[in-house]
Amino acid sequence: MKNDPFALWAPTAEQVELLLVDPADGDERRIAMETDGDGFWRPVGGLAEPSGDRPLDYGYRIDGSATVLPDPRARQAPYGVHGLSRTFDPEAYRWSDRLWTGRQLPGGIVYELHVGTFTPEGTLLSAIERLDHLVELGITLVELMPVNAFNGRHGWGYDGVLWGAVQEEYGGPAAYQAFVDACHQRGLGVIQDVVYNHLGPSGNYLPEFGPYIADGPSNTWGETLNLDGEHSDEVRRYIIDNALMWLREYHVDGLRLDAVHALSDTRATHLLEELAVEVAALSAFLNRPLSLIAESDLNNPRLITTRDGGGYGLTGQWSDDFHHALYVSLTGDTTGYYADFDSLAALGKVFENGFFHDGTHSSFRGRAHGHKIDTLRTPTWRLVVCSDNHDQIGNRADGQRLSGKVSAQQLGLAAFVTLLSPFTPMIFMGEEWGASTPWQFFTDHPEPELGEKVATGRREEFAQMDWDLSQVPDPQDLATFERSKLVWDELSEPGHADLLDLHRRLIRLRRTYPDFCDPQFDGGTATSDDDEGWLLVERGAVALVVNFRSGEVEVPLAGGAEELLTVGESALRPESVWLAPHSAVAVLRG
């Protein structure tokens, strides 16, 4: 495929024609294509590979149709997901990261951002101007929400349909290369969020080319791909090639795999394991670490168990249980799926065991959920934890951040617990200074009926959470998108600047004492008291003491201790520690 950029997999087609258009003068050529019986079509007589400085627009006609379809593997979509594709030579870019040796997940701190709302301009090039802020904060890995081409001018990116093309409004593929290169020059790794569990509702032409889509019903978000039916070998190849593209051609350091529980795969070797095998091989060839981080609703440790241990071999996964337990401890909100976390013991259990639901009953699901992690063999850093992320904020009725629900001092507690946990911490853009802007669900579907369908679906989904549906903003309203953009002038304002400084100090502290990052689950214990509202986490020579309540408490703490960092007010006593309301202290044990 690499040596034939116009090759096309269309196993059910009887005739394929390639349309080439020179964007400089509009000159068109129609070229017949032929198949060699393996389902791939190639131009009759072959074509020279286009040079990077003279791109061509192109598309395909299937079985005499008047409609010209974009390339499913397109690297650029200058006219949107319904228009012609454009050739792009990734090797034309002159990289300056030849000495880059990568960033591993262990010991890392992740920063999740959405390109369209990270800066006022909403582009990859403008995002480069804010990278020094992340370096000063102490971030090691920048995680971009999906940038693949989707219909409309703005959106979250999870409705993508051209997985190999970078959204033009963000700057396209050349700007993406420049962004990754700029990150590497600053010592920042890049993790790209990718979506293989469904396709967006507008611009999905894959069924026109072949059996890409699975038989049967779609999942919650859209049509699912054919991972285990007839012709599924090439569909899986399509997905794996796309994953390798980001890692190889764009020098990306890892992938965040969206909602892998929605990947329907009954084959003996699951797609995730197959992907992990190929990424490991590429990592060995490139001589730098490459990470695969799953988002999963299953609480299934098999995802992050090594392959020689019988698992899929993924590097890590997001931990919803950590978020839910911390969120309830801070807000007292026990609606919907938060109900099971109505105890500080839930947060303590996550610290000790990784999952809260590890075979326990889930009241939201009405059944047992999850499986125990082998804490003797699984390092803590495989779980990526946060106090806020795009999902948890944007999927609240009003799209309010944690900063819109709790006090400034409670935001300090959230940072304290997350950044000093033994897991891999993740910060959602703006969280580090308590951004006042919401993060709401926004779309730009050109089709009015589709926009209304999405808005109605969200209201129905929120009904399960007993939320005020009048607070749900219209996703199609441009104001919903605009109000979700960060306001960088807040950084220097009182309160915001203090929280930012606290984040910096917490990250420095995390890197000063190794017990905070100790990857052994059995290296720590957690104790809590719901009546008094305190949590004590002890890990080696360090301990975290947190008062989540609005009254002062005294927490038993045997032996001498030295204060390392305090949020709010605390006082060490011979056999205890006193904490003011909504305060916390990290101590070094004698």
Q: Decide: residue 319, CB within 10 A, 0-12 exposed, 13-18 middle, 19+ buried.
A: buried
Please state the separation of Cα 60 from the chain's center in Å.
33
Query: Could you write out the DSSP letters of every residue in 434-474?
Result: T--S--------SSHHHHHHHHHHHHHHHGGGT--GGG---
SS3 219: coil
Residue 412: C-alpha distances to residues 32, 242, 330, 503, 521 (Å): 64, 40, 11, 8, 25
Which of 168, 295, 340, 518 is catalytic? The answer is: 295
Closest CA to 100 of 251, 211, 248: 251
Of 17, 223, 258, 274, the catalytic one is: 258
Q: Is the dihedral of CA 303, 304, 307, 311 positive or negative?
A: negative
468 catalytically annotated: no
Residues linked to residue 570 through DSSP beta bridges, in sequence order: 579
In eight-state DSSP terms, residue 52 is T
Sign of the alpha-carbon dihedral angle for 211, 214, 218, 221:
negative
> Comparing C-alpha atoms, which of 152, 146, 233 is closest to residue 196?
146
Q: Two tokens at 86?
A: 């454009």
H helix or E strand, kind and range, residue 208: helix 206-209
State the DSSP H helix or E strand holding residue 383, giving kind and residue range, or none if neither. Answer: strand 383-385
CA atoms in the 13 A half-sphere facing the CB of 520: 10
Q: If DSSP codes are grouped into helix, strand and coil, which group holds residue 61? A: strand
Q: Position of tokens 């999942």? A: 219
Please name the residues in contact with 188: beta carbons below 8 A apart, sequence gap of 6 or more: 103, 131, 134, 135, 139, 140, 141, 142
How many angstroms separate the CA atoms of 325 and 360, rounded?
15
**Does the annotation mark 295 as catalytic?**
yes
Give kind and range of the element (H or E) at residue 528.
strand 524-529
Output DSSP code: residue 155: -
Q: Which two tokens stand for residue 153?
A: 């001018």
Catalytic positions, written as ranges: 258, 295
